[in-house]
Chains A and B, each alone.
Chain A
């Protein structure tokens, strides 16, 4: 049981190559725009035909280039939620939800639509079923799209950036709601996003796609704690990553960070690679620690509603605003505390948070 994918799809100047297998789970597919995330979903749904490979869901072969099997999308029963919902604008809400139920009798269809509308909380307006998609709110549109996708009783849910069209308040609300539905759902869910936070909140496992190929796949905590590659670190939102040279089994020299030597808890096996630390893992040094402490100057800062990012230069005074080595994320309280200090200030990189990747 579960999903097995091993496909290659070549386009002019682009190549999608993904091998992945999973059990019933919520999987986030994370990657930059144009990395091939949507294409992967469309291959599973049958909207795009891969050049070669296999797609098997719960023992049913969707696609197998060797055996020349290619089920049309209508026979795959995938629940696809499109980015802007793709509700049929010329059909009412009820007609949209009932679109896949054309085989049922009229009364059975009505009953099923009513059930789905109840389940997806589409009952707050009395004449909801008679309205057109343009006449309801963004959150309601998403519920309709989900109800419509669920009407086919899918074995897999494919969600293509479902929250990108919603404003921030609604997004958090709909995300909570979505998570409740996804937990109820008996099957795999692939959830595409380029928003790191969304992926982390909604999914258990995360697959990282970079330039058409699967870069990493695993439990979200592992993936964020110890990225396996440069691209994984970047895509999971690591701001500080730089080429490094091994000095001893736990020490690295970082030429681009003013030639400092950084200690990590990880065992370093190969000579060259990249060292990284997340912007929020850097700490203000206290007097007792000496190891992994560095003197830094603040080159620039960028204030967000709840956090501030400081741009730091190690070892010497910055000469321009963009003359920096590290990004450091601090709370506003911390920022105020730092303001009392005279530069250079001392920062500390906990060796447990410093990671090393080979590629």
Chain B
């Protein structure tokens, strides 16, 4: 069975998840850092907005993304004017995965930043460090365990993204068909062996990444 298997969903899923994790890594840290410093009156509101994709049904996220990226949406109309669209393209799988993975990265990074003793950053400042140096030499290294955990969770979440992806990117084999979507259509088409195969693959990848994270945490703590 494996020899005749079409591996495209695996590559698409991995490519999508890795790209989305990469984007969400920087976006999440930047947003967390900014929110950590921001003391304005919209703090609670913004925090809620950033977390929202985590609690909304994926179909709602997908619908909102369709509105934003559709021909008449704020970004969609801009893209349309440039003669392009991301709907039903591979980019759409990345957008959907990034949006749903973002809250996990954001939350983990923010919790990690908040745990750092503020005196440490202040000490670095009095020792002549620029804000940039403080961030990269003190904040990030100290927040690293939390950031790493957030990254792994974001990766696992983007790998498993289904609802929003289906709505925004559709099910185009070889283009936008990720593993979760392949599973759904396999089951629907009565190909339960094929579905079983993909279920197994997803479980292996997700479990391995979590296992590696825990292993790394354990050795890290010994120091």
Contacts and interface: CB of A to CB of B under 8 A. Distances in A.
Contact of A100 (B120, B122, B127, B223): B127
Interface string A68-107: 0000111111111011101011100000000110100000
Interface stretch (A40-48, A217-225, A302-310): A40-48
A101 to B, nearest CB: 9
B128 interface: yes
B148 interface: no
B223 to A, nearest CB: 8
Contacts of A75: 128
A152 interface: yes
Interface residues of B, number: 17
B110 to A, nearest CB: 20
A88 B141 CA distance: 10
B219 interface: no
Nearest to A100: B127
Interface in A164-211: none
A148 interface: yes
Given A82-B119, A83-B119, A88 B126 contact: no
Interface string A126-163: 00000010000000000000001101100000000000
A35 to B, nearest CB: 19
B219 to A, nearest CB: 15
A82 B117 CA distance: 12
Contact of B122 (A86, A89, A148, A149): A86
Interface residues of A, number: 28
B186 interface: no
B123 interface: yes
Interface string B50-90: 00000000000000000000000000000000000000000
Given A42-B122, A80-B123, A82-B123, A74 B130 contact: yes
B126 A47 contact: yes
Contacts of A89: 120, 142
A42 B121 CA distance: 13
Contacts of A76: 126
Given A99-B129, A100-B128, A88 B138 contact: yes
B126 A90 contact: no
A84 B130 CA distance: 23
Contacts of A82: 119, 122-123
Contacts of B125: 45-47, 72-74
27 contacts: A47-B122, A47-B125, A47-B126, A73-B126, A74-B125, A74-B129, A75-B128, A79-B126, A80-B123, A82-B119, A82-B123, A84-B119, A86-B117, A86-B120, A88-B123, A88-B124, A88-B138, A89-B142, A90-B141, A90-B142, A99-B124, A99-B127, A99-B129, A102-B128, A149-B126, A149-B127, A151-B127
Interface of A: 42, 45-47, 72-80, 82-84, 86, 88-90, 99-100, 102, 132, 148-149, 151-152
